[in-house]
Structure 1
């Protein structure tokens, strides 16, 4: 009998033991994190989509993929947003009545066409948080006899933990509970929405008082950038930019050998490579510490939140060695990560957003739009998914030989990306004898396209004794 499904937590593997997440509020309402992604899509027009792509060595029947989709449609992933009827109330979740069928690409793809096809799937099914759909599956056969399956989901409805957990449950034919929870709000009326607005107003007032006691200004401010100033206007600011991405495979044995030589961990090497890509691109300078964000899941058993992710930031030391910007000390990455995550789970690390989250969720869209236009993205972010559950690696009966994880920011213009001043985001996973680093570059000037990013990744890998093969 298969083990019962728990929506997985995805902490960095180097952490070791950690405290269990506290039980979340049982509610049918969107969380603050859900709301951030909802407004990114509906207010500023840049929806964020998480994409998982499996590469299989054999042909996978579309019917096998459809079987998993049918099971997913019965679970918590299949939900839609209903906007509130009262000012200040939170949006809420309702079950979707249908799911997008699997889309099979006609003909066959050459292996070097796979990434272009994966890019194209983002436009094939536009996601709508209110009308749906919010997730979809795509299948393409390759000329070498293999299959690629893409699993796209709006970040409004799923972070990494929800995406993986929902698929694992579907594969095991163990449907998870789905929203709405009738015992929480058996009937939603305007009166119920007004009651929720009053609850949020009290929470916002408490948060503002707590922020004042903590010495923090009770205002909503965009995340500050520690790098370059906001660039001036340019002629191509309104051009939609195809963000550079590289999916780099290498043998697990070679990756582990590089880790052992440097006396670090897989997580530390992923962070170091991400920083060295920033250095090679000229986005940061050697000799200066680089701020890296490390996400971690707070999802526990029975947790139906669409987004349940937090994270910490560490400063990574860099140096100029033989004329090249390098990260040579993996031990400090590991130790700083452990310290920060330990503080997070012990509750001794203050969350700068916690106090103002209720107020931020209450403000109307027109106010949110003026605030969000100045938000910047992290300089560097590294998500380590480790070795996924076997049922996720082989959801259709055959084990994948590689899996790419990545995020897509759809429709962002070069001007928007310049104002957000992002650097790189990376995702690492290990499947069988292969590990994959998916890396996205958000600076349209320093890394203008995927070919340039592949060149940089190849150079950086070489310094660690690694040779990447790209999707």
Structure 2
């Protein structure tokens, strides 16, 4: 069951919708060879409204208490485009052009269109504050299979009790951490590194336009290439992405790798950061990732991460601009549940999972992540999705497409573009 209160990570993604960073929405894109009827799409949409996505952020009445989750079946209406879609990826990019609001609603949106060469394409997007990638996949699986029911959200309890618990937790752990600074050189080094980390990061760039590529790769070939190179499927993923960055002019990159924590929060993720070169083998990448997972990104020197939940938005955003520190994101979504391999009576012939950026209100914000990449597996194929918002890195979709194909070729792999 999802936690009744927002975590530190949940609030980071919520703040991006308030102008503190780039808003992030998770997206699943399905395509079928058969035409899915509007009635079936309506049924899926209605199930989503009463499933895991049917909630919003509620404000506590007592200062110091954490934000809570409330049931909210409201949603944006299902939209079915009448014009046939030629370019699936460009159409999917355009589905981000709507402000999503996980607090005042709605925080998710479903759209569909017919394909020019036959079939249907469906997009489901939700604010990253509402769910992580696995949460979105689980919500879609329930709605596709017809098993979606209102998720029980137990009472968050007394706001006063939560505020007292938060204040005591932050106060006690902060006192212990401060005392530790007097006797631990390592703790002092961690705090110094955290205080100066922004100066070492890639300078933020102004987000202007997404450039996206989606390719399918045969799963048996991918797994075989990983095994031959002494790595894993995930290490090969990071290796291919690093090689893509090298093709784009960045031979060495800092990579953020999210992983599941099973915390029960909307975003049950931790973040590991690793330095990778484009010519590193999957075996080298695997060893580097293993070391990074043993020391994930977190609050420095033993200070409680919950302290930012007691601070004003502006100050909290300064301390936690993103969950990670890298310029590249590699998110392995993993195996897709069988329930998502069909849309109504029609077999899905492709599923891409990724994050995109909904329309921001006011001046376009800046980002430090230059390239976001996502990998998922379904029906004997891996689908690799890449999204760049950095004009200095990628000038065109064609450039990004060429770079990823050259990176795949270096691993004796071939990708089929969407």
| TM-score between both structures, scaled by the size of structure 2 | 0.86
User: Contact 1:81–1:93 (CA<8 Å) still a contact in 2?
Assistant: yes
1:142-199 deviation digits (Å, cap 9, x = unpaired): 01112111110100101012111222233344346635313x43xxxxxx43443222
In terms of fraction of residues, the more strand-rich structure is: 2
Q: Does residue 446 of structure 1 match 2:393?
A: yes
Q: After TM superposition, give the deviation of residue 121 of structure 1 in Å.
A: 1.2
Write the distance in 2 (CA, Å) between the matches of 1:384 and 1:259. Answer: 15
* Of 370, 374, 383, the match for 2:331: 383
Partner secondary structure for residue 234 of structure 2: helix
Partner of residue 212, structure 2? 245
Write the distance in 1 (CA, Å) between the matches of 2:323 and 2:238. Answer: 23
Write the distance in 2 (CA, Å) between the matches of 1:416 and 1:77. Answer: 26
Q: After TM superposition, give the deviation of residue 100 of structure 1 in Å.
A: 2.8
* Of 286, 289, 294, the match for 1:337: 289
* Of 292, 309, 326, the match for 1:361: 309
Write the distance in 1 (CA, Å) between the matches of 2:259 and 2:146. Answer: 27
| TM-score between both structures, scaled by the size of structure 1 | 0.77
Partner secondary structure for residue 30 of structure 1: coil
Write the distance in 1 (CA, Å) between the matches of 2:233 and 2:340. Answer: 21
User: Contact 2:208–2:364 (CA<8 Å) still a contact in 1?
Assistant: no
Write the distance in 1 (CA, Å) between the matches of 2:364 and 2:42. Answer: 39
Q: How many residues in Structure 1 have an aligned counterpart in Structure 2? A: 408
* Of 340, 347, 351, the match for 1:392: 340
Write the distance in 1 (CA, Å) between the matches of 2:396 and 2:47. Answer: 38
Q: After TM superposition, give the deviation of residue 370 of structure 1 in Å.
A: 5.0
Q: Does residue 62 of structure 1 match 2:62?
A: no
Structure 1 residue ranges without an equivalent (≥5): 1-6, 8-25, 186-191, 232-236, 319-324
User: Contact 1:221–1:371 (CA<8 Å) still a contact in 2?
Assistant: no
Let me know the Cα RMSD of the aligned residues: 3.1
Show the 5 A alignment for 1:9-408: 27-44=3-20, 46-110=22-86, 113-123=87-97, 125-175=98-148, 178=151, 180-182=153-155, 184-185=156-157, 192-212=158-178, 213=180, 215-216=187-188, 217=191, 224=198, 226=200, 228=202, 230=203, 240-285=207-252, 290-299=253-262, 303=264, 305-316=265-276, 318=277, 326-327=279-280, 329-341=281-293, 343=294, 351-352=298-299, 355-371=303-319, 378-408=326-356
User: Contact 2:13–2:24 (CA<8 Å) still a contact in 1?
Assistant: yes
Assess, with a 3 A threshold, how the Cα gap between structure 1 residues 173 and 450 changes in structure 2: closer, same or farther: same
User: Contact 1:58–1:147 (CA<8 Å) still a contact in 2?
Assistant: yes
Write the distance in 2 (CA, Å) between the matches of 1:382 and 1:350. Answer: 15
Write the distance in 2 (CA, Å) between the matches of 1:430 and 1:106. Answer: 30
Q: After TM superposition, give the deviation of residue 411 of structure 1 in Å.
A: 4.8
Partner of residue 4, structure 1? none
Assess, with a 3 A threshold, how the Cα gap between structure 1 residues 163 and 145 changes in structure 2: closer, same or farther: same
Write the distance in 2 (CA, Å) between the matches of 1:251 and 1:219. Answer: 42
Write the distance in 1 (CA, Å) between the matches of 2:347 and 2:284. Answer: 36
